[in-house]
Amino acid sequence: MHILHVVGARPNFMKAAPVIRALEKWPEARQTLVHTGQHYDRNLSDVFFSQLNLPEADVNLEVGSGSHAWQTAEVMTRFEPVALERKPDVVVVYGDVNSTVAAALVCSKLLIRVAHVEAGLRSFDRAMPEEINRIVTDRLADMLFTPSEDGDSNLQREGIPLEKIHFVGNVMIDSLVRLLPLAAQCPKNGLPERYALVTLHRPSNVDDGASLRGILEALLELNEQLEVVFPVHPRTRQRIGQFGINVEKLRLLDPLPYIEFLALQRRAAVVITDSGGIQEETTYLGVPCLTLRSNTERPVTVSLGTNVLIGQDLGRIPSEVSKILDGKGKKGTLPPLWDGHAAERIVKALYCHRDVSFTQTD
Ligand code: UD1
């Protein structure tokens, strides 16, 4: 079986790595890795390839940045000839980024089977570009691998036939489990004993001057109570400069490699974020997480894990942080099948269902 993986942006890499590793153990699996080039900075891309032991991409589409329509269209245009030439039996797409939906669209029109890893997640907020990518990708996919049972319910409600849906658990946690021992050995690099780790990159938080300013002011205030450590996404760095906001007092870092970021997360007193994946990682690590969004496509991190949705209510940050520092933060439990073996279940399903026809409709 020829399996072609499409990755493009930072959150794809830790999801693809375990699947590729698990497939390497199947002698009859031939694999091709396509990088769309959606993320191209060394510290958003290359460094993840090396730390996650991803093989070098067979093809890099070098798409780069642009508007959503441009970026999605560019991935489609550049990926179509690759799919035609390589003739994979199945194309595996990951998560919810523009590269994911673009590859799914190309393959479904070429009648190439699509497998979607991290299917079924819904924020029910169509103002979020990723929500559109999730809905479209799931609608087109032939095999849908869900990380949590809410994903199965969402897909069934949308009319996706049961036989296409496979609850396999969280593949991103596979990478975390594997590399956590290395993260535990990372030096502290002069970090304080207690700190708040912050990440911020959602367009809804950072593209609007007033909203970004409000969040950064709340963080500056928090910094008086608990030191803020903030690895800054390039998009956010650009906006801080553009809006002329003074954040000198915060400890700003460049985006960090996977293992170093994991090390920061496991030692953090609290994580404040608008990322999807970090809500999951903190739940696994048992580290309290305050999410600067009013909804989440990962509700198990709230119902079972350590996540609290703060939304726009920035005034809640000091009291939530005080609660956490007093040891009264959410403790949380592990969601089912977040056990480091999701990729093995994906590979088994890929093989067991290899003959499922792509023409099967829903
Ligand atoms: C993308 C994903 C988002 C994911 C995030 C993780 C979509 C719709 N969004 O958002 O789901 O959580 O990745 O980082 O696919 N840039 C660089 N260097 C790079 C890449 C981007 O400087 O290597 C800058 C560019 O100015 C670019 C901006 O970041 O315009 C945004 O990049 P883009 O890929 O469009 O989306 P992200 O915000 O990174």
Strands 90-94 and 59-60: unpaired
How far apart CA 95 and CA 349 sit, in angstroms, is 18
Share of the chain above pLDDT 90, in %: 94
Q: In what order do the strands lie in the sheet with 289-291?
A: 251-253, 228-231, 196-198, 270-273, 289-291, 307-309
Query: What would you measure as the largest C-alpha separation in the chain, in angstroms?
Result: 60
Give me the mean pLDDT over the 210-227 stretch. 96
In the reported structure, the alpha carbon of residue 233 is separated from the centroid of ligand 1 by a whole-number distance in angstroms of 8
Is there an atom of ligand 1 within 6 Å of 121 CB? no
pTM: 0.96
Three-class SS of residue 116?
strand
* 247 or 27, higher pLDDT: 247
pLDDT band for position 353 (cuts 50, 70, 90): confident
Tell me the pLDDT of the chain averaged across its residues.
96
Residue 60 phi, psi (nearest 5): -120, 120
Residue nearest to atom 28 of ligand 1 (CA): 235
Give the DSSP H/E element, type plus range, for residue 160: none
Q: How far is CA 197 from CA 57, 231, 253, 322, in A?
A: 31, 8, 11, 15
pLDDT at 360 over 70: no
pLDDT score, position 361: 52
341 is known as an active-site residue: no
How far apart CA 346 and CA 235 sit, in angstroms, is 33
Helices (H), the chain: 10-24, 46-51, 68-86, 98-109, 129-140, 149-157, 171-184, 203-206, 209-225, 234-242, 258-267, 277-285, 300-303, 316-325, 342-352
Is there an atom of ligand 1 within 6 Å of 134 CB? no
Q: What is the pLDDT of residues 51-101, one digit of tens each?
A: 999 999 999 999 999 999 999 999 999 999 999 999 999 999 999 999 999
pLDDT score, position 355: 66
